[in-house]
Structure 1
């Protein structure tokens, strides 16, 4: 005898989703994962450039969201932005971790070559459709956003890499983010 269980999928508004996560609702967590895992996966993959590492990190990201939901403040920004920042910071922390650095040092040459060949095909994907919006920015601002959000550079590292004063990097990044915010209002 075959037993089928019908799962009723609940559709949540952003406010309802946040409330359900704060109540530790399992259906809220499933909704969160179903609706946001693809976008967060794409952000992480752009930073770590490895499917294997991305799959490890995405689990950590969702656990951080689940365990830190009480820290989210709607007055400070959108829920999606908060989650993107958790994903980005977790990926950067992973890249900077000693265990990851040691693993890179101990990786055999064929593994290293194979992994980089695989990356070149996945690197051009635009998982959240953001590249078209980003292309509307001036090229210097695109480069700063790319370095910060897709390659995991800090503002100090960007300043050093581009041989640009730190204050200029901060100003350009702030202006770019403000412009992106205005542009993204049209996509909501």
Structure 2
């Protein structure tokens, strides 16, 4: 089934389309969600929520604004971030024992460990404090530029300019 045929069936709310949609995109969406939501059960719940949102909000998708895959990836990412920010999710983390986190220390595949292994964080620490803050939000915490702008209480254009300048400074340190 092509993506166009799939979209036509989804617009008609044909139940067969939901199965095809899930089969086509569940693995890639789950991998995106798993990067942000470390707990497998929570990630699976978010995946379900993402597919329900796609199904219910298909009328909001416009081919003129971008690819379907990009649209559903944004839904997955935003739903994951919403989950991370939710009070219930954060309260649940407070109640976990430290035994649940021991594996994080040993897992050399984690992004932060990879970053440490190649020494990027040492270079980032050499930047101006504002650059450290912006790079931390945008690259290490996964904020969008708009979210970083709101978090830092500075205009979006300023975040974009400072981000570009900070990346250029980082390139100078890395000699890229």
TM-score, scaled relative to structure 1? 0.62
Which residue in the other structure is 2:11 paired with? Answer: 22
> 2:64 aligns to what SS in structure 1?
helix
Deviations 1:76-112 (A, max 9, x none): 1111110000000000000000001101111111123
Q: Where do 1:51-66 residues align within 5 Å? A: 51-66=40-55
Give 1:26 shift: 1.7
- Separation (CA, whole Å) in 1 of partners of 2:52 and 2:99: 33
Give 1:67 shift: 0.8
Of structures 1 and 2, the one with the larger relative CO (CA 8 A, separation 6+) is: 1
Give 1:168 shift: 5.4
1:167 aligns with 2:157: yes
Aligned CA-pair RMSD: 3.5
Please, which of 94, 111, 120 is the counterpart of residue 105 of structure 1?
A: 94
Please, which of 120, 142, 146 is the counterpart of residue 152 of structure 1?
A: 142
Q: Runs of 5+ in structure 2 lacking a partner?
A: 113-133, 165-176
TM-score, scaled relative to structure 2? 0.65
Which residue in the other structure is 1:96 paired with? Answer: 85
Corresponding residue pairs, total: 143
